[in-house]
Amino acid sequence: MGSLKELEVVLPDDVPAELPEVDLVEAEQEAASSPRARAFLTWSKRIAIAGWVVLAGLVIWGIQSGVLSSVSQLRAFLSDFGPAAPVIYSLIGASEAIFPVVPGSASIIAAPILFGPVVGFFAAYAATCLGSIAVFFLSRDVGQELLLARFKPATVERYLGWLEHRHFTRWFAIAIALPVAPDDLLCYLAGLSKMRPRTFIIIILLLKPWALLLYVFGVLALLERWIPWLAG
């Protein structure tokens, strides 16, 4: 998941002139008056705070116990849990798309470090696909007010008009295959579009692995190149 500015390179120059203007002020007022949007924000903040407390506790425990002294020690600890460890990771990673505690890219980057390249890739793939699909259906169920509650107004204003573009599905598919795309925002937008659920799921399942492969092997290459002592 990259910056929003980087995503702009895949968008054609002539599109903005075709897009309708979005009355963002009216949309924000609608979101602010939505009980479901307010409930989402409330629970999102509560879960984020609880997540940070739990994460801080785990880091302190890991340092004191020696589990975090190296990658090999951490992997050995996780291996004691068997298949349950990557499954739990995938579920937690998927929930990050809805209730972010840490940036989604951080959880994806952690997968190959925690489980190695093969298991790490499939754990990250499962987390990304589950989270994206959950966001799509949540956005479709709650509506535009959820998008406004989740992202900054300037971000929404920049991208909301794309929902009316006739090639939205095509550009969504291209962006999803790129490692720099803001996945969560794109999936929220897709939930508000006319895209069929089956089309969305196929795009996610078939195109997301390529960006994840770059993440997984890129992280391992950087780890080996710059901090090889950590892997020992």
150-173 residue pLDDT tens = 777 777 777 777 777 778 888 888
b/e burial code for range 7-39 (CB count within 10 A of at least 16 → b): beeeeeeeeeeeeeebeeeebbeebeebeebee
Asked whether residue 6 is domain-assigned, the answer is no
pLDDT at 91 > cutoff 60: yes
| Residue whose entry in the numeric block shows the structure tokens 């925690």 | 114
- pLDDT value for 201: 95
Structural domain count, the chain: 1
Q: Kindly report, residue by residue over 8-38, the tens digit of the pLDDT.
A: 444 444 444 444 444 444 444 454 446 766 7
11 falls within a domain: no
Alpha-carbon gap, residue 93 to 83, rounded angstroms: 16
Residue 198 lies in a domain: yes
In this prediction the pTM is 0.72
Mean of all residue pLDDT scores within the chain: 75
Which carries the bigger pLDDT value, residue 219 or residue 136? 136
Task: Please check whether residue 62 lies inside any domain of the structure.
Answer: no
**Within-domain flag for 225:** yes
Per-residue pLDDT at 220: 67
Structural domain includes residue 10? no
Secondary structure in 3-state letters for 72-100: HHHHHHHHCCCCHHHHHHHHHHHHCCCCC
Query: What pLDDT is attached to residue 217?
Result: 73
Q: How confident is the model at residue 137 (pLDDT cuts 50, 70, 90)?
A: very high
Indicate whether 8 belongs to any domain. no
Is 69 within the bounds of a domain? no
- Per-residue pLDDT, averaged over 125-148, amounts to 87
Give residue 95's domain range. Answer: 23-57+76-231
pLDDT at position 11 is: 44
Query: Is pLDDT at 125 greater than 60 in this prediction?
Result: yes
Identify whether the C-beta of residue 210 lies closer than 8 Å to the C-beta of residue 177. yes
